[in-house]
A = this chain, B = another copy of it.
Amino acid sequence: MTSSDDSPHGRITRRRLLGAGAAGGLVVAGFAGGRATASEPTDPEQSSVPFHGTHQAGITTPAQNRLHFAAFDLTTDRRSDLQGLLQEWTEASRLMVQGKPAGPDNSEPLLPPDDTGEAVGLGPASLTITFGLGPGVFDRRFGLAAKRPDQLEPLPALPGDELDQSISGGDLCIQACADDPQVAFHAVRNLTKIAQGRAVMRWCQLGFGRTAKTGADQETPRNLMGFKDGTNNILNDDRGSLDDFVWAGGEGPDWMNGGSYLVARRIRMMIEPWDRTFLQEQEEVFGRTKSSGAPLGGESENDPVDLQAQGPDGRPLIRVDAHIRQAAPAMNGGQKILRRGYSFTDGFDTVRGQLDAGLFFICFQRDPHKQFVPIQQRLGQNDSLNEYIVHTGSALFAIPPGVGEKNGYVGQGLF
């Protein structure tokens, strides 16, 4: 098996497989003798990311522009149904990440087409589909209780939670990311269709954002408060940190080896009060300069955060309740998480009289109870950002390891 994270992005167009006139060949887009430079971006619609690998794709894959996240409740108590669903989801995903329809039968007049069709003519758009198993998979229904990882213990109540249960939890999850919203929607819709009779969608969340580059050149996107958010994240080529903080190892069950744990938090931002706040206060709340993203006292975004630095008045340059101080690994026993969040906006909230918008925070880690939970306990109690945010949704999923190029299915180690 090769890791999907190492593989160069291939190029392949979505074949028009509906109907009899389908053209079967791959069309390779490229530069007809030209040179690719920074001002000559390749067509992101035609890039593809392999589904298979040591780890599932969509974790260290450079963040695509769009997220469609969905959580499902299982409606069956038959283990074979769960197993069959994971098999069928894997098969359909292998096809869709190549820009192909979700199933083969799309031209039989007297059958519903396997594929819903709205992505025909579109490229793979770097689609990744990442599957997760929630705590409910390990309840009494499926006889899998003995295989539940300790790491999947439900999250405790956390300070500042105002959770809406209808957009929290779930037995299964799909994180679909792509550079085209119609491609991400198509993936979730077809997987939802496949699940009929076995699982129903519980909630879903759309998101947008971007990190254009990989490794040390990774660009930090701005969140909807206008600040660069995610500086000092684990870099996606930092093998040592990924092994230390992201990939599950011998501390848990064998079937999770090479997997990870996903925590999702829907963090609503109080946009209106924030927009009325002075620039200086905004910068002190984050501990960073808004324009450059540099930590206060520094010059540029990636300067080290000096938590000891004092201003001329002898007080800390980075306030004791500043977000970057409270979130710093140094304040959290050296713990780190791999963040992969997306901004969201879900229309207008007439109750609060402002845009319903914020950050759909996603992070991956080896053990949420040693990583996300203590970090969030500290942030929820001490971070001055709390005045402007509220956590409205929460979920936890085990992300099984990746599958082989032609065999295996996600979660197979469980059965």
A interface with B by C-beta (< 8 Å): 16, 18-22, 29-32, 34-35, 37, 39-43, 65-66, 68, 70, 106-113, 115-121, 166, 181-182, 185, 188-189, 192-193, 200-206, 208-210, 219, 221-227, 271, 275-280, 282-283, 289-292, 343, 345-348, 350, 353, 355, 357
Contacts and interface: CB of A to CB of B under 8 A. Distances in A.
A292 B21 contact: yes
A40 B44 CA distance: 11
A166 B30 CA distance: 48
A107 B353 contact: no
Given A202-B348, A222-B117, A225-B118, A291 B18 contact: yes
A292 B348 contact: no
Contacts of A223: 118
Task: Determine how many copies of this chain the complex contains.
Answer: 2
A63 to B, nearest CB: 13
A205 B206 CA distance: 13
Given A192-B355, A200-B353, A345-B206, A291 B111 contact: no
A347 B226 contact: no
B189 A227 contact: no
B224 A118 contact: yes
A280 B110 contact: yes
B290 A185 contact: no
A206 B347 contact: yes
Given A348-B202, A355-B189, A117 B19 contact: no
Nearest to A207: B181
